[in-house]
Amino acid sequence: MFKLLKYGFEDFVDYVNNKQQYWNNLIDSLKFWCNWYKNKLICVRYPWLFINSGVYPWLDNQYTEIWIDCMPEGWRKRFGWKMVRDIDKYLRKHKIKDYHIDQVKEKYGELCWYDNAGPELSKIKEKYEELSARTCVICGKDATHISAGYVCPYCENCMNDLLKRQPLRKFNKL
């Protein structure tokens, strides 16, 4: 109330707005550091999930993103961590120490997991690549449709949500 009397209403509104921005920045900062700490703990257990660019050394050891974060949310929910555990189990069983991931992405509606393992891990990766083609990229439920053009699998609900936002989008049944 004192600030309102001293500075006037417009200045008080600016103060309140800046205060809100301050809190928004603080919350964003807390989210960043919580994510950083979570990723650091994950990389202690699974060091091969750490993204070490090698190109930009000042970005290394930042833990802002790990390889599992490159997978679409629906796949990560449905089978992402199970895949990580299966790979880790295989690496420990066969005492493979120099494993690293080159890239994780979605391509033509399927999971693409590129690494230096060669044919040893191919059965595990193939299992999840096939599963990804039948799993919604947004929510992780069984996919019933696949988008035309930019190919991605979607369930009925997610497809309807996309059609509300992008009515001209085309889908085909799986």
Q: What's the rounded Cα separation, in Å, for the pair 3 and 142?
A: 57
Predicted local distance difference test score (pLDDT) of residue 43: 85
The pLDDT assigned to 4 comes to 47
* More reliable by pLDDT, 2 or 173: 173
For residue 80, pLDDT over 90 is answered with yes
Q: Token pair for residue 111?
A: 């999971």
Instruction: Measure the CA–CA gap between 77 and 138, rounded to whole angstroms.
Output: 9
pLDDT, tens only, 92-150: 999 988 888 888 999 999 999 999 887 878 899 999 999 999 999 999 999 999 888 88
Q: Which residues contact 15 (CB under 8 A, 6 or more apart)?
A: 3, 7
Phi, psi of 149 (to 5 degrees): 85, -105
For all residues of the chain together, what is the average pLDDT? 83
Whether pLDDT at 78 is above 90: yes
pLDDT tens, 84-95?
999 999 999 999
Distance CA 48, CA 172 (A): 37
Residue 71: what pLDDT?
Answer: 92
Give the DSSP per-residue string, 96-108. --S--EEEEEEET
Per-residue pLDDT averaged across 157-164, rounded?
89
CA 152 to chain centroid, in Å, comes to: 16
Domain positions in the chain are 2-45, 72-173
H/E stretch holding 153 = strand 153-154
Which structure tokens are listed for 43? 């990389």
The predicted-structure confidence for 28-68, as pLDDT tens digits, reads as follows: 878 888 888 888 888 889 988 888 755 555 555 667 788 88
pLDDT of residue 130: 94
Contact (CB, 8 A) for 133 and 127: no
Query: How confident is residue 157, by pLDDT bands cut at 50, 70 and 90?
Result: very high
Residue 168 has pLDDT above 70, yes or no: no
State the residue for tokens 């019933």.
144
Entry pTM: 0.76
